[in-house]
Amino acid sequence: MNDLEEVGRLWADTPEATVRDLAGSRAALVARFDRPRRGWSAALRWRAALSARRVALVGAMAVTLTAGVLVAEVGLGGSAEDSPGHLIAAPPADAKTLLVLAARAASAQSDLVPAHGQYVHTKRLAQNSLYTKSASGETQYTEVLVNEERWEAADVGKPWLSRVESLSATGPAPRKYWDRGLEDILYESASCPGRPAYARLGAWPTDPAQVRAKIVADTGEEPLRIWTSLQGLVRESVVRPSLGAALYQVAAGLDGIMLVPDAVDVAGRPGLAVAMDGGDGTRSELIFDRQTYHYLGERTVQLVDEKVDVPGDADYVARKGDASGTAVLAVEVVPGLPEVSPKASRMKIPC
């Protein structure tokens, strides 16, 4: 027996931890899932540091999504004649006014109320940032468009489905690094109260003061932390506009919000945005339709070149103007789950 094997035998019969041993650690982790992190923007970036020799310059071309976007825009309400925007000639002068108008528009919408057995289907277009390295070690940026869909059961205890599929990319990253085909995850847990989003949001109040108090209980009073929490809640609350209205009113009271009059969501739709500087070289935006003031999506934009330290040989530079975010394309009630991919991952996640 060599020395390494001798070391390997030391306390070798220490057992792996049981579920019971790990219950405390797991509970601490799960409790963190809904808590916003200080100063952490909600944007997703794929910070893949890929081996230089594996990354070839392929010059991928973007594939536009115009048709899908136009259909969805109509589906989301467009600019109806009785919309608040139609009645107001001038655009809102500041972020607070925009949020008040957005709250009013959301209040006029009905919450989706799926019947037992039905599902709430949401479809989003996500723009992700994929960072790779060239053979010379230079950071390369690829913008990836991803279809993200969820089917969330009206009933607690039913399975629900999350689906993602990369659609196109603009940038040098080889396709194998961004296109993983259609990826389904079927969550079979669902005996947890409060998951998924539809069930969780149903328990939220819609009075702005109560909503604020509930958020602040987690975040404290720092505006940026409240904003970060709001972003996530707004993204999910498309299924429940009455909550969205309260969230916009909470946002209207935050110091540091600003109006972006010429925002564009990741689906290319022009809009008005309320933004906040993340203090980390990024700005995050909630984007609303210019005329209806309905929520279109959210986006995080890199304001300055930023060297991002990643352990190992994976540091990269996020460039000014890099953006990521999501655009809401459809929210609807459907009778059931779609056909699930035979390669779907099935997950049972205890509460």
Subset of residues 252 to 291 that bind another protein, contact rule: CB under 8 A: none
Q: Tell me whether residue 199 or residue 252 sits nearer to another protein (CB atom).
A: 199
Subset of residues 180 to 219 that bind another protein, contact rule: CB under 8 A: 180, 183, 185-187, 195
Q: Which of 110, 115, 203, 312 binds another protein (CB under 8 A)?
A: 312
Subset of residues 122 to 151 that bind another protein, contact rule: CB under 8 A: 126, 148
Position 349 contacts another protein (CB under 8 A): yes
Burial readout 226-255 (b: 16 or more C-beta within 10 A, e: otherwise): bbbbbbebbbbbbbbbbbbbbbbbbbbebe
Q: Tell me whether residue 122 or residue 291 sits nearer to another protein (CB atom).
A: 122
Strands 45-46, 119-133: pairing is parallel
User: What would the x/- binding string for another protein be over residues 14 to 53, using CB under 8 A?
Assistant: xxxxx--xx-xxx-xxx-xxx--x------xxxxxxxx--
Position 6 contacts another protein (CB under 8 A): yes
Structure tokens at 275: 């933004």
Task: Name the minimum Å distance from CB 288 to another protein.
Answer: 21
Report the candidate in 341, 292, 330 with the shortest Cα–Cα distance to residue 101: 292
Cβ atoms within 10 Å, residue 128: 22
**Residue 313 buriedness (CB in 10 A; 0-12 / 13-18 / 19+):** exposed
| Distance between first and last Cα of the chain | 45
Q: Tell me whether residue 151 or residue 293 sits nearer to another protein (CB atom).
A: 151
Q: Tell me whether residue 49 or residue 216 sits nearer to another protein (CB atom).
A: 49
Q: Which of these ranges, 63-71, 211-219, 269-277, 304-312, lies near another protein under the rule CB under 8 A?
A: 304-312
Backbone angles phi, psi at 151, to 5 degrees: -120, 110
Residue type, 35: R
Position 318 contacts another protein (CB under 8 A): no
Subset of residues 319 to 348 that bind another protein, contact rule: CB under 8 A: 336-347
d(CA 157, CA 285) in angstroms, rounded, equals 34
Measured at the CA of 282, the angle between CA 271 and CA 320, to 5 degrees, comes to 90
**Residue 140 buriedness (CB in 10 A; 0-12 / 13-18 / 19+):** middle
Q: Tell me whether residue 177 or residue 227 sits nearer to another protein (CB atom).
A: 177
Q: Which of 100, 308, 317, 333 binds another protein (CB under 8 A)?
A: 308
Q: Give residues in contact with another protein (CB under 8 A).
A: 3-4, 6-18, 21-22, 24-26, 28-30, 32-34, 37, 44-51, 126, 148, 159, 162, 164, 177, 180, 183, 185-187, 195, 308, 310-312, 314, 336-347, 349-350
